[in-house]
Amino acid sequence: MMLAIRILAISVGFVALAVACGDCGTGDGFDLMVRSSIGGITSDEGPGSPVDIATPVTVGRKSVARAMLLSAVLPGLGQMYAGGRRGYAVGGTMAAVDVLSAWLYFDNNRKGDDKKADYQSFARDHYKRDRFEAYVRDTIVALSPDPVFEFCTDPGSYDSSKCWVSIHNVFPLSDRDDAAYYEQIGDEYRYVFGWDDWYSNRTPNHADVWIDWDPYTALPAGIPTTSINRETYRGMKSEADDFFGKADRYAWVMVIGRVVSMIDAAILVKLRNRDLAAIGDNPRLIFKAGLNGGPNFRVGLKLRF
């Protein structure tokens, strides 16, 4: 998330620069020179002879909608479409950041998937649901006086199906195919009994601590809450989550980059079209004279971005 905020701040800086510096970049900046020969007067033509004007030069305006659409496809394309030194510099930077972010997104997702396959395989080898359920049924439920388990312990109301429903209500362990299953066996202490290296007989009088246990509270004092295999599993899962977290951050970089690029491209196009409109009202002309069998005049239209 911090990386996304930093990229957003840099991109917003580009937008602010584009707004504040709409007319800067002159001097030796990028010049679009559109020249048109407007006529030649030879020595045979008198000073009163008419001047033939060539086809007028026109410079088309850019579309704001097209610039924003291009930036939505790939950040930076809208800036390149707008043109100008700033457009190409900013556009190239944004495009490079987006391509790099996309590569890092897919790379971290791939690594996360590999680590996920590893920790799930480890869980299948070392966590047994039957082991977990056997301990709950034979020890916890058998010793707990809580009425929630009356269908398991009371001879007068014993019901096998209702017993398992009550157990599931207290220990709602998901099916192994569910993502929640892999979260529960690593994150919640009450499912520790299913790990193959967790042994209750390591705790003296472990059965007695369940006698007064409230099923909706933490495990009783003295009951081990973890094992070596559980901690190994948690470390493997943490590595996978780290890769997925990085992938999510790069995904945000791509999303934010597109939004910022669309706004910036629209600003650049509007500035460019504004300059063209000003030139149309008061064009800056550059006259050059030379001898080519007679005076020869050229007019140049000079646009600066």
CB 276 within 8 A of CB 61: yes
Note the residue count of the chain: 305
Tens digit of each residue's pLDDT, the chain (305 residues): 444 444 444 444 444 444 444 434 333 333 333 333 333 333 344 444 444 434 444 457 889 999 999 999 999 999 999 988 989 999 999 999 999 999 999 999 999 999 999 999 999 999 999 999 888 888 888 777 677 777 777 767 777 788 888 888 888 889 888 889 999 999 999 899 999 999 865 665 666 778 777 777 888 877 888 999 999 999 999 999 999 999 999 999 999 999 999 999 999 999 989 888 777 655 554 445 454 555 554 545 444 44
Query: Are 220 and 200 spatial neighbours (Cβ–Cβ below 8 Å)?
Result: no
Question: Given this model, what pLDDT does residue 9 score?
Answer: 46
Quote the tokens at residue 74.
């790939």
Q: What is the model's pTM?
A: 0.66
Radius of gyration over alpha carbons of the chain, in Å?
Answer: 37
* Alpha-carbon span 188 to 40, nearest angstrom: 90
Q: What is the DSSP string of 154-165?
A: -TTT--HHHHHH
Q: Which tokens in the block code for residue 128?
A: 């047994």
What is the DSSP annotation of 19-59? HHTTT---SSS-EEEEEEEEEE--TTS-TTSPPPP-PPP--
H-type alpha helices, the chain: 2-20, 64-73, 77-82, 84-126, 129-135, 142-143, 150-153, 160-170, 179-187, 228-281
Say how far apart CA 117 and CA 240 lie, in whole Å.
9
pLDDT of residue 202: 61
Domain boundaries, the chain: 125-245
Instruction: Give the pLDDT score at 200.
Output: 66
Contact 265, 71 (CB under 8 A): yes
Give whole-number Cα distances, 3 to 238, 242, 245, in Å: 20, 14, 12
The helix-helix angle for 84-126 and 179-187 (nearest 10°) equals 70
Q: Tokens at residue 236, please?
A: 């493997």
Strands of the 31-40 sheet, one edge to the other: 31-40, 295-304, 285-291
pLDDT computed for residue 205 by the predictor: 62
Residue 185 neighbours by CB distance under 10 Å: 24
Please tell me the predicted confidence (pLDDT) of residue 118.
97
pLDDT for position 38: 31
pLDDT at 296: 52
Backbone torsions φ then ψ of 54, nearest 5 degrees: -75, 180
Tell me how far apart the alpha carbons of residues 168 and 180 are, in angstroms, rounded to a whole number. 14
Q: What is the pLDDT of residue 16?
A: 42
Spatial contact of 62 and 273, defined as CB atoms under 8 Å apart: yes
Query: Which of 127, 103, 119 lies closest to 242 in space, CA to CA?
Result: 119
